[in-house]
Amino acid sequence: MSSVRRRTYPSTLVSMGLVFLVFSGCLESDVSRDNPLDPGSEHYAGDVSDIRILYDAEADQTAVIGIAEDDRPVWEHLLDAEIAGGLEGSGFFVRDIDRDGFNEVVIGTRPGGADGGLILAWDHRGDLLWSTAVDVGIPYEGPTAGLGVTYVGFWEGTAEEHPRVLAVANDVTWFSSRLFALDPSSGKPVAEYWHPGHLGSPLITCLCNWGMERLLLIGINNNMSALLGGHDHYSSVVCIKPSDLSGQAPPYLGGYLPPGREDWYVVAYPCTVKFTRIYIESSSDQVLRSIVAWTNTGWAFYINPFGHLVRRGIADSAEEWSPELLVWRDGVQVCQYASVPRKLAKNAGNMFRCDVR
C-alpha cells in the first residue's frame, strides 16, 4: 500500500480555522499531545463522524477526507483508484466496527490503479487498520478480468453472532459475483457466497418482530437458463442469513462449491421480467412484513418472510399485462446428480429439476 498517501492537518492550523494540506509522505505519523485526533488534546476535534470524497477523473485519484464531530477535516488519504459505488455511499461507511468507542472508516475501491480492488479500513486518527484484496479465484468458467467492489456495509451481529463487514464484488467483464463477510478487526475474509450473475446492494432487514434479520438481494442469474430454458438471463431475489454465507446459488455450475444456505431463492418467470427494486412494507399489526419486489413491467410481487408469493399488484406505470402472466417461481432445487463433475455429464441441463409451488 505504498501508493496510499496521507495528508494531515496540524492542530495549530486547524484551530485557526485554516486548512493547509501538509504532505506527510508516509502512511502513519506520530500523534502529539496537541493533535486534534488525540482525546487528551485541548484541541480535540472529536471522533470522526463522516467523510468527504473528491474524485479527480483526469488523474484517476480519490481524496478521502476524515471529518470530525465539529465538522473539521482532520486527515486525508489519496488513493490511486476510484471509490466503489461512486459518491452515492454504497462503497463506504463510517461506523465503530471494532467496538473501541471510536468510529472507523471503511472503503471499497473499483478495479484499476495501484489501490484498486481493495477494501480498506482506517481508524479515527486516519491510521490504516487493514486492507484486503477482493480478487480471488473465481469458480465460474469464462473470460474474467477480476473482481471489483460494488458495495460495503456493516452488520451489527447478535448476542450469539459476531459483527461483520459485508461486501459485494462483481466481475468486471464476466458474470461472477461474490457476497462475502470480513472480520472487522483484521479484515480477514471469514465467509463467502457465490452467485452466477451480478448481485446488487443487500438490504439488511428484520423480516418480523421475533428477530429474523436477513440479507435481501436482487441479482441476475446467467446460468438459470440451463435449468428453466429461455434465451435471456433470469432475475432473482436471494434471502440469506448474514452468518450463513457459504457455497453457491442455483443452478450450481460453479465447480465443486456446495449449494448455498439461503433461506430461499426465487426467480421471476418469464426471463423478460426483471426485478428493479426491493423494499419492506409493514403489516398493520407490525408482526409480519411483506417484501415488495418491483419489476420492469410495472407490476410488483408481494412476498412473505418465508419466500412465498402472497399477491401481485400494480407498482408504478404498469404495462397492459395481466397479473397472471407474471409467474413467481420458487423451490428451485438440484437433484442428487448435481455433485457429478460437469465433464462427466453429457448434458448439464439434464441434471436439474425445478419444483413449482
- pLDDT tens string 45-72: 567 888 998 888 887 788 999 998 888 8
Q: Please give the Cα distance from 314 to 298 (Å, whole number).
A: 6
pLDDT tens for each residue of 211-244? 668 899 999 999 888 877 777 889 999 999 998 9
Residue 190 has pLDDT above 60, yes or no: yes
Q: How confident is the model at residue 30 (pLDDT cuts 50, 70, 90)?
A: very low
Dig out the grid coordinates for 28 from the structure.
502513519
Q: What is the pLDDT confidence band of residue 340, given thresholds at 50, 70 and 90?
A: very low
Burial group, residue 152, by CB count within 10 angstroms (0-12, 13-18, 19+): buried
pLDDT for 14 beyond 60: no
Distances (CA, A) of 6 to 36, 51, 89, 109, 256: 16, 14, 22, 17, 43
Q: Is the pLDDT of residue 323 over 60?
A: no
256 pLDDT tier (thresholds 50, 70, 90): confident
- Which three three-digit cell numbers place residue 307? 419466500
Lowest mean pLDDT among 197-201, 266-270, 339-343: 339-343
Output the average pLDDT for the chain. 76
334: pLDDT strictly greater than 90: no
Tell me the pLDDT tens digit for each residue of 131-151: 999 988 888 887 777 788 999
Cell 411483506 sits on residue: 290
Domain boundaries, given as residue ranges, for the chain: 1-133
**Average pLDDT over every residue of 311-331:** 64
pLDDT at 82 over 60: yes
Record the cell numbers describing residue 68, joined without a space: 470530525
pLDDT number for residue 166: 95
Residue 309 contacts by C-beta under 8 Å, 6 or more apart in sequence? 301, 302, 303, 328, 330
Average pLDDT over every residue of 18-43: 42
Give the residue-averaged pLDDT of 23-42: 44
Q: Which residue has the higher pLDDT, 96 or 254?
A: 96
pLDDT of residue 297: 84
pLDDT grade for 345, boundaries at 50, 70 and 90: very low
Taking 70 as the threshold, does the pLDDT of residue 119 lie above it?
yes
Residue 43 vs residue 253, higher pLDDT: 253
> Does residue 94 register a pLDDT over 90?
yes
pLDDT at 264 over 70: yes
The residues that bridge with 289 in the sheet, in sequence order, are 282
